Amino acid sequence: MTTSHLVGRMTYTEVLHTLTTLSSPKKAERIFPQLKVQDKVLGIGLMKLRALSKTIKKDHERAQKLWQSGIYEAKLLATLTEELPKVSEEQMDKQVEEIKTHAVADYFTKNIVAKSPYLLQKANSWVFMDKPLMVRHIGYACVCQLAKSNQNLDNNYFEKHLIIIDVQIEQAKSYAKDGQINALIAIGSRNKHLNKKALKVARKIGKTTLTNSRSTKIVDVVKLLKSDKIQSKIVD
């Protein structure tokens, strides 16, 4: 079944039915162990979910139901079809505590938090040591978004995060460590001054392992920050 004809404000029930028709039990069986989640997995590719999100209108109430459905793909779709002006800070604080996978964390950060008035606040508050590992991961994902897109913040703001990463990363675990490494790379890619600062931290860390829902890879942050790809893009 294609989604090209599905135009309009579909109900929650209609969306669930559409997700069922797009599901792939074989794919779900293959990726479920990799995701390590308790949610039901339908085995729908991200391209199909994004295509579906473009054919239905945004709906806050429906997005809330999709988020609470217990279906992995429905949570992703919820972030794509949420009515952003209706998303409260309280809602974000509640939802961030419920996220268990990298993909949902990524979609939640980019599609909701990054487009809200609370991005800077969450980048500051969600990285605290007393927060759950995934919350800290998302907090650093917010720092990444700021490093990539916010031109109003000065170097001092990002240098403070570099100091925190430098002090904490040896004790950081799992999702939190992944978030810190990604933030280190994003900050070091912002300008030449921060690149030098980030390289000092990266040299202390050395090569490190990054993990997401489906793979694990060793990252040489120093080599990456010194690469022509990054050096050619950053300015003084």
- Domain match, 92 and 81 both: no
- Domain match, 12 and 64 both: yes
In this prediction, residue 38 carries a pLDDT of 73
In this prediction, residue 105 carries a pLDDT of 95
- Domain match, 74 and 92 both: no
Considering only residues 34 and 182, tell me which one the structure prediction assigns the higher pLDDT.
182
From 52, 86, 120, give the residue that closes a domain. Answer: 86
- Domain match, 118 and 229 both: yes
- Domain match, 106 and 213 both: yes
pLDDT digits (tens, 9 = 90+) for 95-143: 999 998 889 999 999 999 999 999 999 999 999 989 999 999 999 999 9
- Domain match, 194 and 155 both: yes
pLDDT digits (tens, 9 = 90+) for 167-179: 988 887 888 899 9
From 56, 86, 116, give the residue that closes a domain. Answer: 86
- Domain match, 124 and 232 both: yes
Please tell me the distance from the alpha carbon of residue 3 to that of residue 44, in angstroms, as a whole number.
13
Q: Which structural domain range is residue 80 located in? A: 1-86
Please tell me the distance from the alpha carbon of residue 152 to that of residue 196, in angstroms, as a whole number.
20
Q: Which two tokens stand for residue 104?
A: 């949902």
- Domain match, 128 and 216 both: yes
162 close to 124: Cβ distance less than 8 angstroms: no
- Domain match, 18 and 96 both: no
Largest Cα–Cα distance of the chain, in whole Å? 54
Considering only residues 112 and 40, tell me which one the structure prediction assigns the higher pLDDT.
112
From 21, 55, 86, give the residue that closes a domain. Answer: 86
Q: Which residue has the tokens 């409260």?
A: 88
- Domain match, 95 and 195 both: yes
In this prediction, residue 207 carries a pLDDT of 86
Total domain count, the chain: 2
- Domain match, 222 and 175 both: yes
pLDDT digits (tens, 9 = 90+) for 71-102: 999 999 999 999 999 999 999 999 999 998 88
Backbone phi, psi, residue 45, to 5° = -70, 155
Burial state string for 94-131 with b = 16 or more CB within 10 A and e = fewer than 16: ebbeebbbbbbbbbbbbbbbbebebbbebbbebbeeeb
